[in-house]
Amino acid sequence: MRTWRYHITYWQMVVPWCVHFFLWGVIWLVLWRTLRSYIQTATAKSILLRVIPLSIFVSVLEEVLWLTLQPQVPLGAEARGWSYGHRLAYYLDSEILNNLVIFWFTFCLFRAIAYYQGLRERQFAAARLETQLTQAQLRALRMQLNPHFLFNTMNSVSSLMRTDMEAADQVLEQMSSMLRIALDRGEQQLILLTDEVDFIQLYLSIQKTRFRGTVHHYVAIEPEALDALVPTMILQPIVENAYMHGVARTIGEAFIGIEAQTHEGQLRICVRNSGKGLAQRSAAEATKERVGVANIKSRLELHYGSAQCFELKEFADGEVQAILMLPLQYSTSLTDNTLEYAYDHPDDHR
């Protein structure tokens, strides 16, 4: 405008432009608050029949308001004495296209924002439903484990009461402690391996009383694995299967061992037991074991997806190993001491 020899100051140009875009901000704030749902869901036909007329009306309205707030424009000596209608016609002729561009750019921008927000909400809702479903499935699998363990332990108590009341009373106390631990955990799905081992120690003590010292067992965990997170009650059904289908069918001395090590970002847990191997189990025992193994695999898959592995290995001497490979996850810093519980003569079976 200076090249056209208009003698204007900087503020004479800045103030009208600030008012111009401030008005657009206010107009779109009102439109967003009143027509938000319509902007989000408007169809092509609705846009053609309603939004296009609305864009023309709003563009004219903004120009009317702007000229009302800016009586000094247009600038220049030739514009002095112009009526309001003359000024409005002048600016509608020169600015209506710019106003329409501003309207449609903002309309598309808000529509894109609304689409993105709707997409994120749907993704969040889907993720929440998936989490709830996973938690429900895990809860159902745990409910299958708890009564199974409880009934087996009660059968053991019933057998002991006929021969050793003191031992039966001791088993009841230990079972009470186990149930208290299970109740205290509530809906917690992942716990420290050390907490899981504490739970297993009570179970091993119950079985030691039941088998009257004929079973030797040990638990050894590397320091790096102490604070690793594992699914709640993941070891108890494995150890129970080892007793029911291996140790209980062994004549004379038997052993069971639990080991845990870390290697290249994975946690390896191995449950070893003596017995007669997998092939010599009855059809009923094999069916029960398949149900237990399927339960364990389902829980691991829900927790870790394909990043886990569970397998059973059988050796020539009848020993069976249940091996879990889990992603190594920590809750707190590692401790410095190795957790190792040994009973009787564990060195004979390591």
User: Is residue 230 located within the same domain as residue 338?
Assistant: yes
Residue 204 in any domain: the answer is: yes
Residue 293 in any domain: the answer is: yes
Quick one: pLDDT band at residue 147, thresholds 50, 70, 90? low
User: Which residue reads 């189990």 in tokens?
Assistant: 281
* pLDDT tens, position by position, 298-340: 888 878 888 899 998 888 877 889 999 999 998 754 444 444 4
CATH number at residue 240: 3.30.565.10
**Domain boundary pick from 74, 106, 124:** 124
User: Poorest-confidence range of 50-54, 194-198, 276-280?
Assistant: 276-280
Residue 227 is encoded by which pair of tokens?
A: 């604070």
DSSP string across 261-317: EEETTEEEEEEEE-SSTTTTS-HHHHHHHHHHHHHHHHHHHHHHTTS-EEEEEE-TT
pTM: 0.53
Residue 1 in any domain: the answer is: no
Residue 63: helix, strand or coil by DSSP?
helix
- Cβ atoms of 204 and 243 within 8 Å: the answer is no
Quick one: pLDDT band at residue 149, thresholds 50, 70, 90? low
Average pLDDT over residues 60-70: 86
- Cβ atoms of 332 and 227 within 8 Å: the answer is yes
How far does CA 215 lie from the centroid of its chain?
41
pLDDT at 290: 67
Residue 91 in any domain: the answer is: yes
Tell me how far CA of residue 321 lies from CA of 246, 254, 314, in angstroms.
Answer: 11, 14, 6
135 backbone dihedrals φ, ψ, rounded to 5°: -65, -40
Domain ranges, residue 292: 163-349
Residue 138 in any domain: the answer is: no
Residue 139 in any domain: the answer is: no
pLDDT at 277: 60
Mean pLDDT of the chain: 78
* pLDDT tens, position by position, 89-131: 878 888 888 889 999 998 998 888 888 888 888 888 777 767 6
Q: Is residue 50 over pLDDT 70?
A: yes
pLDDT at 326: 94
Burial degree of 84 (CB within 10 A; 0-12, 13-18, 19+): exposed
**Domain boundary pick from 124, 152, 183:** 124
C-alpha–C-alpha distance, residues 237 and 250, integer Å: 19
User: Is residue 92 located within the same domain as residue 232?
Assistant: no
**Residues 47-78: b if buried by 16+ CB within 10 A, e if exposed:** beeebeeebeebbeebbeebbeeeeebbeeee
C-alpha–C-alpha distance, residues 221 and 338, integer Å: 6
Tally of structural domains, the chain: 2
* pLDDT tens, position by position, 200-230: 888 888 777 776 767 888 889 998 898 899 9
Residue 158 in any domain: the answer is: no
Contacts 24+ apart (CB under 8 A), 258-263: 258/197, 258/200, 258/217, 258/218, 258/219, 258/220, 259/219, 259/220, 259/221, 260/193, 260/220, 260/221, 260/222, 260/225, 260/228, 261/222, 261/224, 261/225, 262/222, 262/224, 262/225, 262/228, 262/328
User: Is residue 223 located within the same domain as residue 83?
Assistant: no
Q: Is residue 284 over pLDDT 60?
A: no
